[in-house]
Copies of this chain bind each other. A is one copy, B any other.
Amino acid sequence: MKKAVVLLSGGLDSATTLYIARKRGYSCFCLIFDYGQRHRKEITSARALAKRTSSRYEIIKLRLPEEASALTSRRIPIPQKRSLKTIGKNIPPTYVPARNIVFLGIALSYAESLGAKKIFIGANALDFSGYPDCRPRFFSAFSKAARTGTKAGKSIRIETPLLNKTKSSIIRAGTRLGVPYNLTWSCYRGKRKPCGTCDSCLLREKGFAGAGMKDPLL
């Protein structure tokens, strides 16, 4: 069976991506990163999704610098109740320096080692927080670095099936594939219930509303 490495954060985008990769016939090896996030709830979600799909997974513990992001430092407040028109227009304090470069680098290392030909990442550049490492031109540049810097070269491709989709079309597609959205976690805060005010909650809310569905977490 053909193999793929899937970056699994536990959010709804990466969960949908995992189901897309499976639908395309890949046996998925999930990488889950424990990089010092404020909360471990997303790691729990990611693990549950890997288990639900009987996928192999590895939790990668990695020390990234803490002080530069609201997602890794409690001293930096998470923006709240921003207008949907504002979200995505600039880089917010929840940006984690070079996160996707690091995650994709490690995914490449696993892909080469496992003989996987694809790396799936659920990045989205439409209904997103404005992170530079989620934009098409970054993936194109990174893919070239991957081709020139690895033994596998051109034989490993980075797949970004959600890159230009709206959140509601992602949710509709995922629902058709049977993604258990009740197992996903999007909120930047790790409380018992989603906060409903961070960018991630707002984008999720917009997505479920646009899809005409109820968020199973609410």
Contact = CB atoms under 8 A, between A and B. Distances in A.
Contacts of A132: 148-151, 153
A interface, size bucket? 35 or more
A67 interface: yes
Task: State the oligomeric state as a number of copies.
Answer: 2
Interface of A is mostly: helix
A24 interface: no
B98 A112 contact: yes
Interface in A29-70: 58, 60-65, 67-68
Given A97-B113, A101-B149, A58 B63 contact: yes
Nearest to A100: B149
Contacts of A96: 109
Given A68-B112, A102-B106, A105-B101, A141 B148 contact: yes
Closest 4 CB pairs of A and B: A65-B113, A97-B112, A68-B113, A98-B108
